[in-house]
Amino acid sequence: MFLTSNQISVEKYRNKAAGYDQSAEFTMPLRRKTIAGLHLQAGDVVLDVGAGTGLSYALLLQGVGPTGRVLAFEQSPEMFAKATARLERAPCNNLWHTCASAEDVSLPQMADAVLFNYTHDILRTPEAVANILRQCKPGARVAVAGIKYFPWWTGPLNLLAWAKNRPYNARPADMWSPWDILQPHCATFERESTHWGMGYIAQGVLA
């Protein structure tokens, strides 16, 4: 049976949701750094793309303050259930989230800032990127973190990058420049390598 990338991804996360927070604990410093790149201001509306279990929610809420709003979407029902449970444990009235795909999501308002934290599949899907960006204000700030291949001359090391990416992504290839669908939509885009070249973090401003 032929499965779409979205269906493959949903299947991958069905079993990952339970242990996701624990496995992502070591990523918190990088998550904080990526979110800092959004330069959030009180009153901002920030979008958390492919929000997973909502691990970024507290940091984003802190950034926008009580007058701002966090919007989020996540397509995996199991990951979204975890995000909902997180919200039930710490209720707040300025976070809106929905279980939807990046290709189809419809936001209640335009975003001032948008976070792509380890959302490789979404970044590699032009329709998904287009649907998100059309719901962001011109000049919205963008921050991205993710996995990429080591430089080509490291050769077999990239098997490691591919193997690390495969359990999480339906499109485990396409890792030479995973940002290159998003970047042309940006007026500025600054990127640096992380994880000895196997990751990247970027920040910019939409055109």
Ligand X SMILES: C[S@@+](CC[C@H](N)C(=O)[O-])C[C@H]1O[C@@H](n2cnc3c(N)ncnc32)[C@H](O)[C@@H]1O
Question: Which residues in this chain contact ligand X in the complex, by CB under 6 A?
Answer: 6, 9, 13, 24, 50-52, 55-56, 74-76, 79, 101-103, 117-119, 121-122, 128, 168
Smallest distance, Å, CB 191 to ligand X?
Answer: 18
Q: Distances from the Cα of 8 to the Cαs of 48, 76, 121, 170, in angstroms? A: 21, 10, 11, 6
Q: Which is nearer to ligand X, 44 or 74 (CB)?
A: 74
Separation of alpha carbons 103 and 86, rounded Å: 25
Smallest distance, Å, CB 114 to ligand X?
Answer: 12
Smallest distance, Å, CB 93 to ligand X?
Answer: 22
Separation of alpha carbons 49 and 196, rounded Å: 25
| Chain residue whose CB lies nearest ligand X | 52
Q: Which is nearer to ligand X, 154 or 195 (CB)?
A: 195
Q: Which is nearer to ligand X, 56 or 135 (CB)?
A: 56
Q: Which is nearer to ligand X, 64 or 105 (CB)?
A: 105
Smallest distance, Å, CB 104 to ligand X?
Answer: 8
Where are the extended beta strands (E) located within the chain? 45-49, 69-74, 95-99, 111-117, 136-147, 186-194, 199-206
- In this structure, what is the dihedral angle of CA atoms 29, 168, 108, 65, given to the nearest 10 degrees? -10
